[in-house]
Amino acid sequence: MTQPVVHLWRLLKWGRTLARHGALKGIERDPNTPAPVRRLARVARFGARVPAKPAYADAFQAIGPAAIKLGQTLATRPDLVGDEAAHDLLRLQDQLPPVPFATIAAAMEASMGRPPSHFFSSIEETPVGAASIAQVHRAVTTDGRTVAVKVLRPGVEDDFTRAIDTYQWAAAQVEGMSPEAARLRPRLTVENFRRWTLRELNFRREAASASELAEAMTAEPDFMVPQIDWQRSTAKVLTVEWVDGIKLSNRQALVEAGYDLPHLAQTLVRAFLRQAIAEGFFHADMHQGNLFALPGNKIAAIDFGIMGRIDRRARVWLAEILYGLITGNYKRVAEIHFEAGYVPSHHNVAEFATALRAVGEPMRGLPVKDMSIGMMLDGLFSITRDFDMVTQPHLLLLQKTMVMVEGVATSLDPDINLWDSAAPFVREWIRTELGPEAKIADRLIEDVQTLARLPELVRRIEARYPAPGGEPPAPPLKAIEVVRIGGGWRYALISMLSAAAGVAATFAVLR
């Protein structure tokens, strides 16, 4: 078990790097920051040259791979790190210098059990991408297919384990320092980060996620998921179909190639809505570098290490919230928040509806160049403190992905209105899931399930109330009262424990 002094040393070392980039200013100035955290920030900053403008993303980049991933997680939490920091962290680029190919080849052989030449006729030694967790090489299989081979960086698992250990320790300390810190649930944020990271470090999980998403997206033929080469994939090596397209980040190349950019933007928005609302399973890292345009104005996605999942109940609430904001029905949106338990019941529904109106009304009917979902989320975060709303773990990734999708869509078509794009899909899904036909179907399913439970219910009744002449049920056990007469109750308790131990030993012998 790691000692607290080791955690403090790591935090001071990381804090020193944050201070040199001006990234501790917000912590020191925020009145809600617990005093011990503020003191630790001042110690870390002592003697450092602090720039006038904080560079949060650069600071996390300088600390290392685990910090990069943590920074990407914190970008979804403006309520926790502030609007300025969250916005800057969105530009974190998960890129590092590549590992020498000899090291990568050795790692492949150790994981696959045979030399890479047994599976691939050729592998390009220069990677096409090098990130904090893995790097990707283009290769040709022995049967002639061009593929992308993703290999886990050697030693990265130990680095992440050490860092996450300290993150969890620090979050636990902060959460106990004040009610406001407890409301923001930093331990839950770190726990989600830990689970997402463990999934990313297991490439079999990533392959399974890609396969599941491909099945879910059959209804969206313009959104493509590359096929997995299961025979050439392990927990540390992932081989997938090579995507030969243009990155959506290269707008000029897309224009020169004749792509219909507004159509691509609409395809992306619809694909995201189908994943998040209709399927409840979505690609949670849909930035421009992971999306490619293919011939026929199609979009292909890569990198399925971070996936989000929300159950049907949460999806119904999400769809109703989005549709309520789209149509201006703030009273219904407020009621949904109370029904879902997002807002404690001691608050007033009408007051919350008014607060939502203040967020949503200025943005309705405007093009995205004048308003955005990101702005809406910032507004929603600003009212969470007033209404004691706690963090909802199943919405963290969704919020981050919504901002990402919006950014990519508007880079393709600055005039796109996401409300208008989302409304038809959300309206149809609500009608399908919550309309009269759906209610009748749900009722029939519920009634059939009730009928199926009847035999078991009858058996339980018979067991509880046997026929005349049968053995009566045993009476409920009475609570044992501890008699406190001088010190005698101690001896009585010891005697009862000894007797219980004797009975347990007897049963152990008889078994």
Report the Cα 60 to chain-centroid distance in Å: 19
Please say whether the dihedral angle defined by the alpha carbons of residues 31, 36, 42 and 45, taken in this order, is positive or negative. negative
Give the position of tokens 């308003």.
371
**Looking at residue 41, what is its pLDDT?**
76
pLDDT band at 483 (very low <50, low <70, confident <90, very high): very low
Q: How far apart are CA 348 and CA 351, in angstroms?
A: 5
Exposure b/e, 55-92, CB count within 10 A at least 16 = b: bbbbbbbbbbbbbbbbbbbbbbbbbbbbeebbbbbbeb
pLDDT band at 497 (very low <50, low <70, confident <90, very high): very low
Q: What is the DSSP string of 101-130?
A: HHHHHHHHHHHHSS-GGGTEEEE-SS-SEE
What is the per-residue pLDDT across 389-418, written as a single tens digit (0 to 9) for each?
Answer: 765 655 666 777 877 787 788 888 887 766
Report the pLDDT averaged over residues 484-495: 42
What is the per-residue pLDDT across 257-309, written as a single tens digit (0 to 9) for each?
Answer: 999 999 999 899 889 888 888 888 899 888 878 899 999 999 999 989 888 88
* Residue type, position 88, single letter: D
Find residue 281's DSSP bridge partners.
309
What is the per-residue pLDDT across 131-142, written as a single tens digit (0 to 9) for each?
Answer: 878 999 999 999
- Give the range among 133-137, 420-424, 490-494 with minimum mean pLDDT: 490-494
Give the position of tokens 């007797």.
499
Phi/psi for 476 (5° steps) reads -65, 145
Query: Which helix (H) or strand (E) segment is 27 a member of?
Result: helix 25-29
Q: How far apart are CA 334 and CA 137, in angstroms?
A: 49
Exposure b/e, 443-452, CB count within 10 A at least 16 = b: eeeeeeeeee
Q: How far apart are CA 510 and CA 197, in angstroms?
A: 48
Catalytic residues: 285
Token code pair at residue 407: 């950014």
Exposure b/e, 108-124, CB count within 10 A at least 16 = b: beeebeeebeebbeebe
Domain 100-153+202-242: state its class: alpha beta
**Looking at residue 382, what is its pLDDT?**
66
CB 139 within 8 A of CB 122: yes
Q: Hey, where are the domains in the chain?
A: 4-92+166-195, 100-153+202-242, 245-457
pLDDT band at 503 (very low <50, low <70, confident <90, very high): very low
pTM, entire model: 0.68
**Looking at residue 235, what is its pLDDT?**
93
3-state class of 475 per DSSP? coil
- Give the range among 29-33, 48-52, 59-63, 151-155 with minimum mean pLDDT: 29-33
What is the per-residue pLDDT across 67-100, written as a single tens digit (0 to 9) for each?
Answer: 888 787 777 666 567 777 877 787 776 667 888 9
Find residue 408's DSSP bridge partners.
none
Q: How far apart are CA 407 and CA 272, in angstroms?
A: 13
pLDDT at residue 485 greater than cutoff 50? no
Q: How far apart are CA 65 and CA 103, in angstroms?
A: 18
Q: How far apart are CA 259 and CA 251, in angstroms?
A: 10
Phi/psi for 241 (5° steps) reads -55, 135
pLDDT band at 506 (very low <50, low <70, confident <90, very high): very low
**Looking at residue 498, what is its pLDDT?**
41
165 Cβ neighbours under 8 A, 6+ residues apart:
2, 7
Supply the mean pLDDT for the chain.
78
Q: How far apart are CA 247 and CA 302, in angstroms?
A: 11
**Looking at residue 237, what is its pLDDT?**
95
**Looking at residue 147, what is its pLDDT?**
96
pLDDT at residue 242 greater than cutoff 50? yes
pLDDT band at 457 (very low <50, low <70, confident <90, very high): confident
Report the pLDDT averaged over residues 160-174: 86
CB 19 within 8 A of CB 45: yes
CB 165 within 8 A of CB 181: no
pLDDT at residue 449 greater than cutoff 80? no
**Looking at residue 335, what is its pLDDT?**
86
Residues in the chain: 511
pLDDT at residue 444 greater than cutoff 60? no
Token code pair at residue 211: 């396969």
**Looking at residue 28, what is its pLDDT?**
72
pLDDT at residue 40 greater than cutoff 90? no
β-pairing, 246-247 with 298-301? unpaired
CB 237 within 8 A of CB 149: yes
